[in-house]
Copies of this chain bind each other. A is one copy, B any other.
Amino acid sequence: MKLICTQENLKKAIYNCERAVAKRNTLPILNNILFETKKGGLKLSATNLEIGVSSQIGAKIEEEGRITVPARLISGLSNNLLNGENIALESDGDILKIENKTNKTSIKGISAGDFPLIPSRKGAHLLELEVADFKKATTNVLMAVAINEARQELTGVNISLKTDELLFAATDSFRLAEYKIKLKEDSINKELYLPFIEKHENIIIPASTLMEFNRMVTDEDNFKVKIAIEEGQIFFEMNNIELVSRLIEGKYPQYEYIMPKEYKTRIVGERKIFQQALKTAGLFSLGGSNEITLKIDAETKNVFVHASSAETGENSAELKFDITGPSQEIVFNVKYLLDGINIISTDQVAIFANSEATPVAIREIDEKSGEVLGNFIYIAMPIKN
């Protein structure tokens, strides 16, 4: 392998691949990034056997070839490269030589023959989505994913595949977040997608895969991502990056049954004020369950957030919120309410409740119309006394 590329492109490709590299893996080759000439350019790949990432960049190829080098070294090296200069890469046996104007490096690598095969897409894509929409949807539900859960399926984000929308959901059984993306006509490859969703109502993507995906996308990116699903694998393609991940097998809980169809009580108020009241109450709700009480008083038109413990003392906030419906008094783990409030991106927030024993819903409010926004819902279970 012998080639020349820009330092800027090389840095980006390494950045995209480096986190897919296995951490503390006993198989040394999984700590490495694969460099190979492909399609007249340079392709970098990394995998931890759960996900695989490839990044293709332009390069002037003088000699075809393949080699793998430790991600730690090549990434450290690339962090010190300046934009606007070229860099030459040349393999010599298992050594990769890297040279720019001032710097000559030889990195000990491992033969590319030992690098595991990363699955590649065979058929066409099912979907093509705005990458910003996909990132927003996953960001809004990831905080509700179960960590280290015995039930594998709860460690991923569920996507219910409908003809006209995708429903992203995550739950650890204490709370649930759901975000909806409307599918546009041109987002669907109809010939494939419609037969596919007849057989597959949903898929479950590992949370770690989606966090890795989101890391590679900045909030300003406005390109599209193509999605294919084949043989228990999901393929993402965007902007010269390919990410492939296993899907989680298993049956996702039918969470729609625990979501109340309607609510008796609704409060609306400033998100920031509610957030501060919860944070402060959280300080006084010591103990494993972080209990705080939300009291909605329909008579006095006040919302109270209250917490107390024998060790710390007590705290109580009185909030002037709009209240419709009957009074309520519900006990929560403050952490689960806060996770929901923290992800709300509108200035006003709405809380819906029915009773002390049923879930509440947290929703966004459109600034202009004052209406509840339909695409996001966060559900928190109360603590039953």
Which A residues fall within an 8 A CB radius of B?
Answer: 70, 72-73, 76-77, 79-80, 82, 95, 102-108, 273, 276-277, 279-280, 283-284, 311-319
Smallest CB–CB gap between A372 and chain B, Å? 24
Smallest CB–CB gap between A74 and chain B, Å? 9
On whether the beta carbons of B284 and A105 are closer than 8 Å, the reply is yes
On whether the beta carbons of A108 and B313 are closer than 8 Å, the reply is yes
Partner of A315, one of B70, B95, B104, B318: B104
On whether the beta carbons of B317 and A102 are closer than 8 Å, the reply is yes
On whether the beta carbons of B315 and A103 are closer than 8 Å, the reply is yes
On whether the beta carbons of A73 and B284 are closer than 8 Å, the reply is yes
Residue numbers in B under 8 Å from A284 (CB-CB):
73, 105
**Chain B residue nearest in CB terms to A99:** B316
Known contacts A103-B280, A103-B318; 4 further A-B pairs (Cβ under 8 A): A77-B280, A80-B279, A104-B318, A105-B316
Residue numbers in B under 8 Å from A108 (CB-CB):
311-313
Residue numbers in B under 8 Å from A318 (CB-CB):
102-104
Partner of A95, one of B280, B283, B313: B313
On whether the beta carbons of A104 and B316 are closer than 8 Å, the reply is yes
In the bound assembly, the distance between CA atoms of A310 and B312 in angstroms comes to: 57
On whether the beta carbons of A73 and B103 are closer than 8 Å, the reply is no
Partner of A76, one of B76, B273, B283, B316: B283
On whether the beta carbons of B106 and A314 are closer than 8 Å, the reply is yes
Smallest CB–CB gap between A295 and chain B, Å? 14
In the bound assembly, the distance between CA atoms of A280 and B77 in angstroms comes to: 6
Partner of A105, one of B105, B276, B280: B280
On whether the beta carbons of A105 and B273 are closer than 8 Å, the reply is no
**Chain B residue nearest in CB terms to A74:** B283
On whether the beta carbons of B105 and A73 are closer than 8 Å, the reply is no
Partner of A312, one of B73, B104, B313: B73
**Chain B residue nearest in CB terms to A98:** B315
On whether the beta carbons of B105 and A313 are closer than 8 Å, the reply is yes
**Chain B residue nearest in CB terms to A97:** B313
On whether the beta carbons of A277 and B102 are closer than 8 Å, the reply is yes
On whether the beta carbons of B313 and A102 are closer than 8 Å, the reply is no
Smallest CB–CB gap between A349 and chain B, Å? 16
Residue numbers in B under 8 Å from A280 (CB-CB):
76-77, 80, 103, 105
On whether the beta carbons of B76 and A319 are closer than 8 Å, the reply is no
Smallest CB–CB gap between A80 and chain B, Å? 4
**Chain B residue nearest in CB terms to A96:** B313
**Chain B residue nearest in CB terms to A103:** B317
Residue numbers in B under 8 Å from A314 (CB-CB):
105-106
On whether the beta carbons of B277 and A103 are closer than 8 Å, the reply is yes
Residue numbers in B under 8 Å from A273 (CB-CB):
102
**Chain B residue nearest in CB terms to A100:** B317
**Chain B residue nearest in CB terms to A106:** B313
Residue numbers in B under 8 Å from A317 (CB-CB):
102-104
**Chain B residue nearest in CB terms to A305:** B103
**Chain B residue nearest in CB terms to A316:** B104
Smallest CB–CB gap between A189 and chain B, Å? 45
In the bound assembly, the distance between CA atoms of A315 and B104 in angstroms comes to: 6
In the bound assembly, the distance between CA atoms of A273 and B103 in angstroms comes to: 11
In the bound assembly, the distance between CA atoms of A276 and B76 in angstroms comes to: 11
What are some 24 contacts across the A-B interface (CB < 8 A)?
A: A70-B312, A72-B283, A73-B283, A73-B312, A76-B279, A77-B280, A79-B279, A80-B280, A82-B276, A95-B313, A102-B273, A102-B318, A103-B315, A103-B316, A103-B318, A104-B315, A104-B317, A105-B280, A105-B313, A105-B316, A107-B312, A107-B313, A108-B311, A108-B312
